[in-house]
Amino acid sequence: MTDIYVDADACPVREEVNRVATRLRLTVFVVWNGSRPLRPPGLPNVQMILVGDRADAADDWIAERITDRDVCVTSDIPLAARCLAKGARIVPPSGRPLTQANIGSALAGRELARHLREIGVGGGGPAPLTRQDRSRFLSALDTALQAALRVPMPT
């Protein structure tokens, strides 16, 4: 069975994920560390998973459970790399999927951005999502889910 894992800390597309998952009758695991309250959507297919407050607790919970039949919604590049290593599909809120082909560049860009912040250049976080970003996200999520749903069940 295909599941959707949502790295919920600062995820702006949870409602979109819930709508798609409900339509396709898929389970969604919304995983977060409790750093801020999240309102449960009240949907039977959405499970709210509150993990410990350790820095990478949500990432670890997702990475331990995700399989090659699943999709992870995250903008966390290291988590994306861990999920890709297990064969999962990654769809960031921007809708620009992360794959084995581009995760190395994404990790390098993340490290460069971290370095620039340390020396006082750049920062400010990602720009708010536009309507076009949300549309791109929904299209990428659909593509990733259709591919995941085609993965044969293990025998």
Percent of the chain with pLDDT over 90: 61
- State pLDDT tens for residues 30-78: 999 987 888 889 999 999 999 988 888 999 999 999 999 999 999 889 9
pLDDT at 139 over 90: yes
Q: Domain residue spans in the chain?
A: 3-149
Q: What is the mean pLDDT of residues 130-143?
A: 94
Fold of 3-149: Rossmann fold (3.40.50)
Spatial distance between the Cα atoms of 60 and 74, rounded to a whole number of angstroms: 13
Strand order in the sheet with 3-7: 46-50, 27-32, 3-7, 71-73, 89-90
Which pLDDT band holds residue 123 (cuts at 50, 70, 90)?
A: low
Q: What is the mean pLDDT of residues 83-91?
A: 96
> Strands, DSSP E only, in the chain?
3-7, 27-32, 46-50, 71-73, 89-90
Spatial distance between the Cα atoms of 77 and 70, rounded to a whole number of angstroms: 17
Res 110: pLDDT: 63
